[in-house]
Structure 1
Amino acid sequence: MTDEPLERRWRSARPAVAGVHLDSGACSRQGFAAVEAAALHARHEAEVGGYVALEASAPVLDAGRAAVAALTGHEPRDVVFTTSATHGLELVLSSWTGARSVACLVGEYGPNLAVMAAHGFDVRALPVDGEGRLQVDAAAEALAADRPGLVHLTPLGSHRGIAQPLAALADVCRSLGLPLVVDAAQALGHLDCAVRADAVYSTSRKWLAGPRGVGVLAVRPDFAERLEPRFPPRDPDWPMTVWQRLEHGEANAAARVGFSVAVGEHLAAGADAIRHRLAEVGRLTRSTLATVPGWRVVEAVDEPTAITTLEPEGDIDPHRVRAWLIAEHGIVTTACDTRRAPRELGRPVLRLSPHVDLTGDQLELTAAALAAAARV
């Protein structure tokens, strides 16, 4: 292990950024190793055929599953590849054979709510405080009094950088015998997700810095027994495990290879070190932007995440500001409209989500640009 600072190693492992990238909550910048691994696999497909190349990539994909298992508290055999986080939730809910009711946060991700509705789930709200953070004791009482089929938690939302008490809720669910499903799209590689939840699903492209179009789903064996995947149909003459039926083989294998390399790099850099640095990045970002006119920082300075949400004052339009920041300064952020959390978010906000390689100069440039944007 080198003594070179994490942020410098992270920066040198990927192409130079064109501008300022503050958008890892949407899509991180891939490293050279992940890009080259995906490209080499695609070339190998052209040389020997896609299915032969897929067989040859088995050790890399197995290593990717093992790395995801280490981050989620599962076994490598519990992990399957998907195409996205939403795909992972679709697989779980469409396969679930228990009661079609789910308890989740008021601030649940809008597309997740749409998937729940599409599969006929009755959605119940878990109790939260004024910040939208889960109240664990109140939740334990509510879940014991009115047991849902599933409990669903998004430990870190798309619209707000509030870290939810995932480990505490996992303990509650275990004590009550309730299955816990975790949306770790923003949390995997960002917060500690190794809490032995019944199912964890995520994407490759955010904090793990893998390619787009890849996701993962980890399912514990006792939970898998309660799943009946719709495709392919169960065939006694051609038996398949639940995991084999969940993982569709006709997919972008090159992207899965790239992701496997990316998550391996994440573990090699040190998951704890990355989480610590991301929390530091969040503190630096919020401290720097706290006095920028025209904006209010939503999260507390010491919230242990790298996501900073800016609520505009007056008639400032976050979507217009995002476009202006890219066009004028090469600063990439995310404008979050109310569809991201329709039961909690009252107006659009601007989200900044830098990774571990953030610099003070980038923050100062961003602060100045945001002040100017408020006057445009």
Structure 2
Amino acid sequence: MTTLAEDDLARDWRSARPVAAGVHVDSAACSRQSFATIDAAAQHARHEAEVGGYVAAAAAQSVLDAGRAGIGALIGMGADDVAFTTGSNHALDLLLGSWPGPRTVACALGEYGPNLALMAAHGFTVSPLAVDEHGRVRADAVAAALHADSPALVHLTGIGSHRGVAQPLAEVADACRTAGVPLVLDAAQALGQLDCAIGADAVYSSSRKWMAGPRGVGFLAVRPGLAQRLRRRVPPPEWELPISAMQSFEQHEANLAARVGFSVAVGQHLAAGPAAVRARLASIGRATRTLLDGVGGWRVVEPRDERTAITTLAPPAGVQPAVVRDWLITERGIVTTVAESARAPFELTGPVLRLSPHVDVTAADLQACAEALESAATTPIRT
């Protein structure tokens, strides 16, 4: 039995949301939204129907401005440095497409597959950063690599999609700053789990993960020094229009209801206390790994004390994680994710089962996961 204790943060988070239909341990994919977030998005959509989309958009500006300011507070930037996007992939696509100089980038061996695909699509040559046995970037090796053969930029995914290992964000940021190389931080999994105000030159993330906002919205934030270097794509830069690259990033024909909901979710996260949320998530990750390692033959991949709430489980021989994941949903009402090799094509050698509870998970929820995995080991669900 896990020793995970209840606290006020867990109770408040849970009471602010609809009751889960089963056990939700899948926040790295999509967290559960609060009543306030759902209501804010619905109210904006209703307002569009009442007064028209553009009048409603004008009325929502103060909420959206507060959302940008809240995002800025979490990453150490200003509200004016933040542009809303449709998500993390969209944000990286905008940034790479506007890059003005040599297209060389350094990143960890376990870089997220879709990020690598975007880098290739935009003509970037990728070089690997040295990592340890857990896939964690070696900050000393980053400094040496940047001194020896400096890329145009460093891209760091703070926590991978396939493994709950926290990268040394502040140390890599210091190395990049010393070398004069811009650092781009993919905070899709890190925002909410780690302190992301580490001085990165650009940060992007999604709403739907640890911020517990709506799907289909995210952000790209760029410091002024780097933003001024970016080359606007649309409208074409040769058109002499007073539109900066950052201004061109925000699509005005957008789902503003989702942006409003995201802004409310960010406000709720700030009110809960980012440091308290990070501490709670770290304790949940430790409890989850302690409980599940070895259950039903599954092996925890991360170090037990890793400061994230993501636990990935390598399967026993002959077991397909995708089959078990489907069985957990249909037979036990437990929602997890399978991370296939494509998520980290140069590091992940086979699929893993990923559990990612948020702060409201209970000891009983985690025990249910353990019992289900133990039961799965003796149930004929292998293919």
TM-score (norm 1): 0.98
Match of 2:251 among 226, 248, 253: 248
Identity between Structure 1 and Structure 2 (%): 63
Q: 2:190 & 2:58 partners in 1: Cα distance?
A: 31
Aligned to 2:156: 153
1:241 Cα deviation from its structure 2 partner:
2.3
Aligned to 1:221: 224
Aligned-partner SS, 1:300:
coil
Aligned-partner SS, 2:294:
coil
Aligned to 1:351: 354
* Contact 1:282 1:304 (8 Å CA) reproduced: yes
Which consecutive unaligned segments of at least 5 residues does structure 1 have? Answer: none
Q: 1:265-303 deviations in whole A, cap 9, x for unaligned?
A: 000000000000000100110111123022000111110
Q: 1:111 & 1:131 partners in 2: Cα distance?
A: 21
Which consecutive unaligned segments of at least 5 residues does structure 2 have? Answer: 1-5
Matched, 1:112 2:118: no
1:7 Cα deviation from its structure 2 partner:
0.1
1:373 Cα deviation from its structure 2 partner:
1.4
Matched, 1:342 2:310: no
1:243 Cα deviation from its structure 2 partner:
1.6
Aligned-partner SS, 1:103:
strand
1:234 Cα deviation from its structure 2 partner:
3.5
Q: 1:225-271 deviations in whole A, cap 9, x for unaligned?
A: 22112112247654112221111111100000000000000000000
* Contact 1:91 1:229 (8 Å CA) reproduced: no
* Contact 2:296 2:375 (8 Å CA) reproduced: no
Aligned to 2:3: none
Match of 2:102 among 81, 99, 102: 99
Aligned to 2:324: 321
Q: 2:216 & 2:189 partners in 1: Cα distance?
A: 15
* Contact 1:227 1:242 (8 Å CA) reproduced: yes
* Contact 2:105 2:125 (8 Å CA) reproduced: yes
1:215 Cα deviation from its structure 2 partner:
0.6
TM superposition outliers: structure 1 runs of 4+ over 3 Å: 234-238
* Contact 1:234 1:240 (8 Å CA) reproduced: no
Aligned to 2:169: 166
Aligned-partner SS, 2:154:
strand
Q: 1:148-180 deviations in whole A, cap 9, x for unaligned?
A: 011000010000000000000000000010000
Aligned to 1:78: 81
Matched, 1:66 2:57: no
Q: 1:52-94 deviations in whole A, cap 9, x for unaligned?
A: 1001000000000000000111111000000010000001100
Matched, 1:199 2:202: yes
Aligned to 1:279: 282
* Contact 2:296 2:376 (8 Å CA) reproduced: no
Q: 1:243 & 1:314 partners in 2: Cα distance?
A: 49
Q: 1:338-365 deviations in whole A, cap 9, x for unaligned?
A: 0000000000000000000011111111
Aligned-partner SS, 1:351:
strand
Aligned-partner SS, 2:167:
coil
Aligned to 1:133: 136
State the AA in 1 paired with 2:48: E
* Contact 2:103 2:123 (8 Å CA) reproduced: yes
Q: 1:9 & 1:102 partners in 2: Cα distance?
A: 42
Q: Please say which of residues 295-304 and 240-249 is displaced more in the overlay.
A: 240-249
Aligned to 1:185: 188
Q: 1:374 & 1:322 partners in 2: Cα distance?
A: 13
TM-score (norm 2): 0.96
* Contact 2:233 2:245 (8 Å CA) reproduced: no
* Contact 1:80 1:217 (8 Å CA) reproduced: yes
Matched, 1:33 2:31: no
Q: 2:295 & 2:188 partners in 1: Cα distance?
A: 29
